[in-house]
Every structure is written in structure tokens, then in C-alpha cells.
Amino acid sequence: MKNHFQKAIGIVCLVASMLCLVLTMMCCHSGINANKNTIHYSDIEKIHIGMPLDSVVLELGQPYAFSSDLGCHDLTCKNPRVVSEIKMTKGTDIVHYVDSIYQDTNYCCEANRENMRNIEKHVTLDYTEEPSFLKSIFNSPMFTYPMLWIHLDSNYRVSEVYAKYYGKGWDEKCIYSLSENPAKDSQDNNIELIVDTTLFRKCFPK
């Protein structure tokens, strides 16, 4: 009897914890803009191919983070060089940071040394923050959010603007795309490039 009572108490506590978690996430991730987006769609539409980094920041403000692919690595590489989602701070200088990485000849492995000779310097600006991974546990329309990336070329000029909408579960949809080569989607080959203007404007209302 005692064991049955303890199990019942355990189940009640587990259910209560799950309910608290759900309520917390409902408060944190309610509505279509779960990532607390503060960008207006009209500002995104002002970004054009070839625009310099300074002008992008002038229109959209500082990005949330930035990243740059540093090429391949050996399977045995113990300390691969990675520039992925570097969080922006007040004193972060994107150009200086990325330039210093690409000029650094202290390669982490032979594959990286070889690959860095062939890849072109580039950087991606992340203008939205992805919500907690816990959102994916709940297959609910409540947990939806947009993501916006600005891609810059070796001269720190815009080469692509790309936004996606993450809907129920793992659904993804392109909601905005501006590229030097519109026929080719460099982000996701499996995402059909049908831009949804209505959804785009709903996702970025400021």
C-alpha cells in the first residue's frame, strides 16, 4: 500500500511539473513572434544586394549574432576553428573579428589548412534568435517563429537576404528571399522558394 501511495505521489508531482513547464513556455513563447522579433518588414525590404555592412546596421541595427564557415576539418581534429553564432556585444567589431580569423595561419588541422586556401571570406548576420529547443517538444501552432539571415560577401556587402518561418512541428517555409542568383536557394535545397508576403509581414511587424 505504501509503495502504491508513493508512486501515486510521484506521478502527481511529475504531472504538476509538466504543467508548470507548459505554462512557463506559453508565457515565454506566445504568439507568432516567439523570438521577440523587433524588426519591421519594411526595413528588411530596404536591404539590397551590394549594400555595405554599415548601411545594413543603420537600417536594421546590430545583429543578434554572426557566423562564418571556416571549412573542413580532419576527423581527428581536436580543436576545430569555429565561428558560429558569435553573440554581439557593444564593442564587437565584425569586420576585425572575421578578418583576424581568415588571416590567422595557425590552422587547427591539415584539412583546415588546405580548405582555407580555397574558400572565400564571408559572414552571415543572424538578426533573430531561435527560441528554446523545448518548443519542438510541443507540436502546437503556438510555438512558431521567423528567422532572418543577411549574408555578406568577402567585401562585407550583402549577397543574400533570407527569412524562413518555422511553423507547427518542424514545418519550414521561405517567407522572404533576395539573392544575386534567385534561381538558386543557397540556404535549403529542399525548401520551395514560394515567398509568402502576408506571412512575412505578420512575422516582422515590429
- Across the range 149-154, mean pLDDT stands at 95
Residue 188 reports pLDDT greater than 70: no
Residue 99 CB burial class (10 angstroms; 0-12, 13-18, ≥19) = middle
Alpha helices in 29-138 (DSSP H): 41-44, 53-60, 94-103, 110-116
Torsion 8-13-17-23 (CA) sign = positive
Strands 123-126 and 158-166, sheet pairing: unpaired
Residue type, 25: M
Residues 181 and 162 sit within 8 Å (Cβ to Cβ):
no
Alpha-helical regions (H) of the chain: 2-28, 41-44, 53-60, 94-103, 110-116, 197-203
pLDDT, one tens digit per residue, over 42-58 is: 999 999 999 999 999 99
For the chain, domain boundaries: 37-203
Q: What is the pTM of this model?
A: 0.73
Q: Where residue 66 falls among pLDDT bands split at 50, 70, 90?
A: very high
Give the torsion sign (CA, 178, 181, 187, 189).
Answer: positive
Which single residue is written with the C-alpha cell 521561405? 174
